[in-house]
Chain A
Amino acid sequence: MIQIIAFILLFGVSMFMAFRAFSKIRRNILLGGGDYDVVDDTPQRIKNTLLIAFGQQKMFKNWIPAVFHFFIYAAFVITQIELIEIFVDGFTGNHRIFLPFLGGFYTFIISFIEILSVLAFVATFVFLARRNLLKIPRFIKPEMNGWPKLDGNLILIGELLLLIGIFSMNGADVVLQDIDPEHYHDTGNLAVSSWLGPALFGGLEQSTLVMIERFGWWLHIITVFAFLNYLPYSKHLHIILAFPNVFYQNLKSRGEIENMPEIMTEVKSMMGLIPEDQMPEMSDDIPEFGAKDVFGLSWKNIMDSYSCTECGRCTAQCPANITGKKLSPRKVLMDIRDRATEIGNNIDSGSAEFYKEGADTTQPLTADNYDDGKSLFDYISREELHACTTCNACVEACPVTINPLEPILKLRRYEILTESAGPSDWVPMFTSIENTGAVWQMPTERADWTKSLNETEA
């Protein structure tokens, strides 16, 4: 009975806390005020989600991590079946409630979970080694120092705790099945625990075995609840957000940079392409073009940032990063996420210092009256933005279809259009296009090359 109460309490508290934390992530994602045009093609979106998120298609460009990652992923997904039983047992005080109903199939499922768990166990060590011993370059870039590095390792350690929980629970259970078959029903021959259990725990006292079994059960479920509450603060959030993020990926051509209809209309009216009576009303406010902060990004850009698991495949493919420039697409995403989180926390604080100048501080603090005097440019330097070649290698590389290029271009737009700043080298190119229609100011005419067509050339 005490166990049931403890379980219900644990369940209630962790679900409540997780709900609050996830609601905040949702709110932070919706801080994005920019447009995101979702092309309506649900069948294609479902297909993408099945292939890329569920099937991890893009991971398999790189076989070794893909296979090991798949072990952990598959073990995680399949273990949810056992987790359902743990929940029901937890609420009802039963022990392995599904066993009598499923019989041989139960043995099969648990065995399947156990085999995957062993593979996940191996994979976890491989990943710990890749991060800490082999020091794969993409894991040791400057943006990974501190929390991101610890975060990566904590998840793997949590993974190990889960697996230790499962095998203590099942292993002790198998041994107890011989000693006390009335309480510990015969699960049949489990693929791993049927030999691992006796090997580890054979010959122990019954009371010790009961303790080990309970320890495993509680360790498993506590780790699950801890994980659930850890996710919103961790790169590991990708296990959830990868799915909506792939579903909502941009289905338009990668080559199309989002149009700016407000500028198009203005240029059209300047060029006399819009009849007088159809001219839109121009507002007197000086508009803000591009993005200065997360408010100018789309919700999808921010969802991208929370979906990022900091794997660094983008950065490893970035030509600017490869040649030692400061730009790292992963860092851009991490910065957007950290900035959105910072704003979210400040909004929750409701503190007067975060209100826009002259705003009514008796009103609740929201995205609309928020100003902390900072912007994304305090996180992402101009040097990083200017180094991008828009080559799309980062877009191609991301396993969960994050687009790091979009926010980079939105920040460039802010710099050029709103601040009239940006690299001075670009100014002659802009003026030349504007005045002569060519990227270079030339003394010749565009069609002059045709004049020398029939001259013999070496």
Chain B
Amino acid sequence: MSAIQVKTAADYQAEGKEPEVLFWVGCAGSFDARAQKVTKAFVEILTHAGVDFAILGNEESCTGDPARRAGNEFVFQMTALQNIEVLNMYSVKKIVTACPHCFNSLKNEYPALGGNYDVVHHTAFINDLFSSGRLKVSGGTFKGKKITYHDSCYLGRVNGQYEAPRELLKMLDIELQEMKRCRTKGLCCGAGGAQMFKEDEPGDKRINIERVEEALDTGAEIVAANCPFCITMLGDGIKANEKQEEVMVYDISELIVQSL
């Protein structure tokens, strides 16, 4: 494949063009080594499907999700209003992101602050690429592999999107081994509500350990996820169980890239 090029919204503006969609990378997707791989996988998918996309690059800031959920409305407003200024300056209409927390804030919280965009999560976006015929996969890569899927709270329970990710897995010929707690009853990985950035409160167990035990119970070799924070939490939980050699955690986009 030819070299992948990632252009910023500023590049498009300089060329007098408009991208089809803005890819919101998010803090994790930009800085976290594990999540960067997901970012790159998604970029590869976009390129493969011939999608004209832009990123904000250094003009992007945290959406403010963890600040707002921790209770710090000032910090949330500062970063969110800053982002809205930038997004509106580039007249952004459609946003795709691989982070359900960014997705939720952009979609549900920015309108009250004056930011109105059509926001989609990357699993739904990729699903559309398939249904419109812009993307095709060859099944079989994961034949015979046991795979389970972890619903992130902010894509699943909060935004009611349970099917798009599962449809993608089905397209890969994956026979899904559902965990006991899935869909509306899916158990949190433990990172939400700004827990990612603090030590746990005293208790018997870490939440990610509880979730990973359930995932391991399915006998899965791959845990598919849709959120960078879930991926970190589940990965840590698997390490704590000393299963990192046998069980891998992947974002759904990473599974798709392997089947392109």
A, B assembled together: yes
Counting CB contacts under 8 A, is A442 at the interface?
A: yes
Contact of B193 with A319 in the complex, beta carbons under 8 Å: no
Contact of A430 with B72 in the complex, beta carbons under 8 Å: yes
- Most chain B beta carbons < 10 A, residue from A396, A413, A429: A429
A437 to chain B, nearest CB (A): 3
The distance in angstroms between the C-alpha atoms of A319 and B109, with both chains bound, is 24
- Most chain A beta carbons < 10 A, residue from B77, B185, B202, B209: B77
- The 8 A CB mask of A373-397 against B (1 = contact, 0 = none) is 0000000000100111111110110
The distance in angstroms between the C-alpha atoms of A415 and B109, with both chains bound, is 22
Counting CB contacts under 8 A, is B190 at the interface?
A: yes
8 Å CB contacts to B: which residues of A348-377?
none
Q: Name the interface size band of chain B.
A: 35 or more
The distance in angstroms between the C-alpha atoms of A271 and B201, with both chains bound, is 36
8 Å CB contacts to B: which residues of A304-332?
317, 319-320, 322-327
Stretch from B78-86, B125-133, B140-148, B162-170 at the A interface: B78-86
Contact of B200 with A438 in the complex, beta carbons under 8 Å: no
Contact of A453 with B40 in the complex, beta carbons under 8 Å: yes
Given A264-B77, A416-B70, decide whether A387 and B158 contact each other with a Cβ distance below 8 A: no
Give every chain A residue within 8 A of B210 (Cβ-Cβ).
319, 322-323
- The 8 A CB mask of B147-166 against A (1 = contact, 0 = none) is 00000011001110000000
The distance in angstroms between the C-alpha atoms of A72 and B40, with both chains bound, is 57
Contact of B71 with A409 in the complex, beta carbons under 8 Å: yes
* Nearest residue, chain B, Cβ from A411: B71
Counting CB contacts under 8 A, is A290 at the interface?
A: yes
* Nearest residue, chain A, Cβ from B84: A273
Stretch from A148-156, A216-224, A254-262 at the B interface: A254-262
Contact of B62 with A412 in the complex, beta carbons under 8 Å: no
* Nearest residue, chain B, Cβ from A429: B197
8 Å CB contacts to A: which residues of B60-119?
60-62, 64, 66-75, 77-79, 81-82, 85, 104-105, 107-109, 112-113
Counting CB contacts under 8 A, is B39 at the interface?
A: yes
8 Å CB contacts to B: which residues of A281-305?
289-290
* Nearest residue, chain B, Cβ from A414: B71
Number of interface residues, chain A, beta carbon within 8 A? 69
Contact of B188 with A437 in the complex, beta carbons under 8 Å: no
**Which listed residue (A252, A253, A267, A391) contacts B159, Cβ 8 A?**
A253
Give every chain A residue within 8 A of B205 (Cβ-Cβ).
323-324
Contact of B64 with A433 in the complex, beta carbons under 8 Å: yes
Given A254-B158, A433-B62, decide whether A325 and B201 contact each other with a Cβ distance below 8 A: yes
Give every chain A residue within 8 A of B202 (Cβ-Cβ).
325-326, 383
The distance in angstroms between the C-alpha atoms of A98 and B39, with both chains bound, is 74
Counting CB contacts under 8 A, is A450 at the interface?
A: yes
The distance in angstroms between the C-alpha atoms of A273 and B195, with both chains bound, is 32
Give every chain B residue within 8 A of A252 (Cβ-Cβ).
108
Contact of A446 with B31 in the complex, beta carbons under 8 Å: yes
Stretch from B2-10, B14-22, B216-224, B243-251 at the A interface: B2-10
Give every chain B residue within 8 A of A409 (Cβ-Cβ).
69, 71
Give every chain A residue within 8 A of B194 (Cβ-Cβ).
426, 429
Contact of B109 with A256 in the complex, beta carbons under 8 Å: yes
8 Å CB contacts to B: which residues of A410-458?
412-417, 422-423, 425-426, 428-430, 433-434, 437-440, 442, 444-450, 453-454, 457
B196 to chain A, nearest CB (A): 8
Contact of A323 with B58 in the complex, beta carbons under 8 Å: no
The distance in angstroms between the C-alpha atoms of A61 and B183, with both chains bound, is 12
- Most chain B beta carbons < 10 A, residue from A267, A439, A444: A439
Give every chain A residue within 8 A of B187 (Cβ-Cβ).
319, 322, 393
**Which listed residue (A267, A390, A425) contacts B199, Cβ 8 A?**
A425
* Nearest residue, chain B, Cβ from A290: B71
The distance in angstroms between the C-alpha atoms of A457 and B28, with both chains bound, is 19
Counting CB contacts under 8 A, is B204 at the interface?
A: yes
The distance in angstroms between the C-alpha atoms of A322 and B203, with both chains bound, is 9
Given A320-B201, A383-B201, decide whether A433 and B67 contact each other with a Cβ distance below 8 A: yes
A130 to chain B, nearest CB (A): 20
Contact of A256 with B60 in the complex, beta carbons under 8 Å: no
Give every chain B residue within 8 A of A417 (Cβ-Cβ).
71-74
Give every chain A residue within 8 A of B225 (Cβ-Cβ).
none
Contact of A260 with B73 in the complex, beta carbons under 8 Å: yes
Contact of B67 with A429 in the complex, beta carbons under 8 Å: yes
Counting CB contacts under 8 A, is A133 at the interface?
A: no
Contact of B61 with A433 in the complex, beta carbons under 8 Å: yes
* Nearest residue, chain B, Cβ from A259: B112
Counting CB contacts under 8 A, is A47 at the interface?
A: no
User: Which positions in B face A, CB cutoff 8 Å?
Assistant: 3-4, 6, 8, 25, 27-31, 36-37, 39-40, 43, 55, 57-58, 60-62, 64, 66-75, 77-79, 81-82, 85, 104-105, 107-109, 112-113, 153-154, 157-159, 184-185, 187-188, 190-195, 197-207, 209-211
Taking A255-B159, A323-B203 as known contacts, 7 extra A-B pairs with beta carbons closer than 8 A to each other, sorted by chain A number, are: A257-B109, A264-B81, A320-B207, A395-B157, A396-B157, A429-B70, A449-B40
18 contacts between A and B (CB under 8 A): A253-B108, A253-B158, A260-B73, A264-B81, A324-B203, A393-B185, A393-B187, A415-B71, A426-B70, A429-B197, A433-B78, A434-B78, A440-B31, A446-B30, A446-B31, A448-B30, A450-B55, A457-B40
The 7 closest A-B pairs by CB, nearest first: A324-B204, A412-B71, A437-B61, A390-B193, A425-B198, A391-B188, A324-B203
